[in-house]
Amino acid sequence: MGTARDKLVDGLYGLGWAGVKKLPEPAAVALGRRIADFAWKRRGTSVLRLESNLARVVPDAGPERLRELSRAGMRSYMRYWMESFRLPAMDPGRFSTDVEMKDEHILRGALASGRGVVVALPHLANWDLAGAWAIGHIGVPFTTVAERLKPETLYDRFVAYRESLGMEVLPHNGGAAFGTLARRLRSGGLVCLVADRDLSASGIEVDFFGATARMPAGPALLAQQTGAVLLPATLYYGDTPKMYGRIHPAVEVPEAGTRIEKTAVMTQGVADAFATGIAEHPEDWHMLQRLWLDDLEERP
């Protein structure tokens, strides 16, 4: 049975899904900006962590510049939520006009090969909107994995929301999810995974903006095991209501080395592509948690 806090959190998200999608778009945009500015001015833990992360991405930024970036970052983060709340009610025709993806021919070509495709994304801009674009514009459904959230009712809302957009959502249950993803890829399907943070024991250490972080091994392992094409993708917002993105060149499986060595090389390749997109649009990177190993608190 959920706690009072769990019920409050679930109720607030439920209110967002029920209420925000009914607002006129300009009103939803204005509401998101007001909430973002309120949170930013409070200088809470998440805002301070965002600034700490951005300091690594933009190392020459002074305190004033970091505050500007964190304010823009919170506005971008709330834009993600406002858009996501409204996505189920959005005209599917807008998925093609509201998203502009550079080098989408790379994705189309990989899908046409029949090998299956793994798209790995960081927490940039709106990855749910990018998924809706893939379904509505490219015309290909895909499978993804969602971390189990607390309370369970909140997780169920997230899954139902994403499934309403046409995604197949698997719970993050280790081998069971991996096996299903592998089957989808072997049949030529598309798998999309948010892959810029993994603090588990199976995470792969990568050099990321000059320090060590861990990222998931899954995308590289799936590509090795199934022969699928591994494509990093990055997203960003511009000065228009559109969202923009880029499909990066494929990360190839090395010809030599053990599976662990190949996975490390490939995951570093994904991290490098992520770093390129994040450095170009740091304000759209929604990383409000600890990421780098030397930022993690020591635990007994």
pLDDT tier, 299 (very low <50, low <70, confident <90, very high otherwise): very low
pLDDT in tens, 65-107: 999 999 999 999 999 988 888 887 778 788 888 999 999 999 9
Q: What percent of the chain has pLDDT over 70?
A: 87
- The DSSP code sequence of 77-143 is HHHHHHHHHHGGGS-TTHHHHSEEEETHHHHHHHHHTTS-EEEEE-SBS-HHHHHHHIIIII---EE
**pLDDT at position 199, please?**
66
Backbone phi, then psi, for 237, in 5-degree steps? Answer: -95, 150
CB within 8 Å of 266: residues ≥ 6 apart: 219, 220, 223, 224, 230, 251, 252, 253, 254
pLDDT tier, 148 (very low <50, low <70, confident <90, very high otherwise): low
Higher pLDDT, 3 or 256: 256
Q: Which of 187, 259, 255 is nearest to 220 (CA)?
A: 259
State mean pLDDT over 31-58. 95
With tokens 């700490």, the residue in question is 52
CA distance linking residue 263 with residue 278, whole number of Å: 22
Q: Kindly tell me if the per-residue pLDDT of 139 is higher than 80.
A: yes
pLDDT tier, 5 (very low <50, low <70, confident <90, very high otherwise): low
State mean pLDDT over 144-172. 74
Q: Kindly tell me if the per-residue pLDDT of 12 is higher than 70.
A: no
**pLDDT at position 271, please?**
98
Q: Which of 81, 65, 76 is nearest to 15 (CA)?
A: 81
**pLDDT at position 300, please?**
41
CA distance linking residue 196 with residue 57, whole number of Å: 14
CA distance linking residue 68 with residue 73, whole number of Å: 8
pLDDT in tens, 165-218: 788 988 876 568 899 999 999 999 999 999 999 867 779 999 999 999 999 999
Is the CB of residue 237 less than 8 Å from the CB of residue 248?
no
CA 226 to the chain's CA centroid: 23
User: Mean pLDDT of all residues in the chain?
Assistant: 89
State mean pLDDT over 268-277. 98
Is the CB of residue 169 less than 8 Å from the CB of residue 191?
no
**pLDDT at position 154, please?**
61
**pLDDT at position 44, please?**
94
